[in-house]
Chain A
């Protein structure tokens, strides 16, 4: 059973950041820097979004040699629609992209 997504300020902040570049895959650390959220807040939100199929995650090889692969994240089509409802102003920029991905 998937967990429900919480309408918290932190979730809104994360969604707003991810809406800025809806097609880009982003690392957890990059998301932390952009949102200002701590890892203890960020990961539970990512987990919940992923459980609800609002977020997709992928493994990517690290850029630097010798470093382990990293998880990257981006919103799914459903996630973009959800984010658009959550953060209305930012959604305007992603309307065209939503249509393109649907």
Chain B
């Protein structure tokens, strides 16, 4: 009669055999657990193999064209988000009201006019921060597609500028009494998403010390 630990270890190893990109290695890991007599050790072995399996799976997935394409689209969207506020403020200040109205429909509340006091009070350097952040995202994307350079560093720098801009705008919000983004969770989710992309870029461009040639 097999113990619960042994059954769990075997179930985990079946899962590992499925998720490993190389079936040969997946089977090798699965079979190895059969040779471990101690159930406790077998379970710990299996749990380690699950971690290794997912790590290998992720490394393989990061290099696929569809994952890279999806990530590229996401970075473009994040860059567009950075350009949004500068473009809206530019359109409003230059009195391109048609464009301002068009963009305003995409703001919280569907009407940019409630944001007019904020746009009037927003210093130029904050607008510039967001625009530069958007540009940095696009350069990071270019680097990712060409597989050159450490794109995550540019992306992280852009994220930092974005964060600085958001922190700066809080004082404007406080002075005008207008909250640009009424739902704080949306802003938080944006930061989580941005830093998740930075992490993935770091994993993709991670270059360990070369082996001896």
**Do the two chains belong together in a single complex?**
yes
- Are B208 and A5 within 8 A (Cβ)? yes
- Are B51 and A29 within 8 A (Cβ)? no
Q: Is the interface of B mostly helix, strand, loop or mixed?
A: helix
- Shortest Cβ distance from A19 into chain B, in angstroms? 14
How distant is the Cα of A4 from the Cα of B208 in the complex, in angstroms?
6
Contacts A38-B48, A40-B48, A71-B32; A4 near B56 (Cβ below 8 A):
no
B interface, size bucket? 20 to 34
Q: Is the interface of A mostly helix, strand, loop or mixed?
A: mixed
The 0/1 profile, CB within 8 Å of B marked 1, for residues 57-70 of chain A is 10100100001111
How distant is the Cα of A71 from the Cα of B23 in the complex, in angstroms?
13
Q: Which residues of B contact A57 (CB under 8 A)?
A: 28
Other-chain residue from B22, B35, B209 in contact with A29 (beta carbon distance below 8 A): B35
- Are B35 and A27 within 8 A (Cβ)? yes
A interface, size bucket? 20 to 34
Chain A's closest residue to B55 (CB) is A44
- Shortest Cβ distance from B115 into chain A, in angstroms? 49
- Are A41 and B48 within 8 A (Cβ)? yes
Other-chain residue from B34, B56, B210 in contact with A67 (beta carbon distance below 8 A): B34
Contacts A4-B208, A52-B211; A67 near B48 (Cβ below 8 A):
no
- Interface status of B77 (Cβ within 8 A of chain A): no
Other-chain residue from B31, B46, B50, B212 in contact with A70 (beta carbon distance below 8 A): B31
B residues whose Cβ falls under 8 Å from a Cβ of A: 22, 25, 28-32, 34-36, 44-52, 55-56, 59, 207-212
Contacts A4-B211, A52-B211, A82-B212; A68 near B31 (Cβ below 8 A):
yes
Q: Which residues of B contact A32 (CB under 8 A)?
A: 45
Chain A's closest residue to B208 (CB) is A6
Chain B's closest residue to A46 (CB) is B25
- Are A39 and B31 within 8 A (Cβ)? no
Q: Which residues of B contact A4 (CB under 8 A)?
A: 207-211
How distant is the Cα of A24 from the Cα of B211 in the complex, in angstroms?
23
- Are B52 and A44 within 8 A (Cβ)? yes
- Interface status of A9 (Cβ within 8 A of chain B): no
Chain B's closest residue to A81 (CB) is B212
Closest 3 CB pairs of A and B: A40-B48, A39-B48, A71-B28
In the complex, which residues 1-40 of chain A have their Cβ closer than 8 Å to any Cβ of chain B?
3-7, 27-29, 32, 38-40
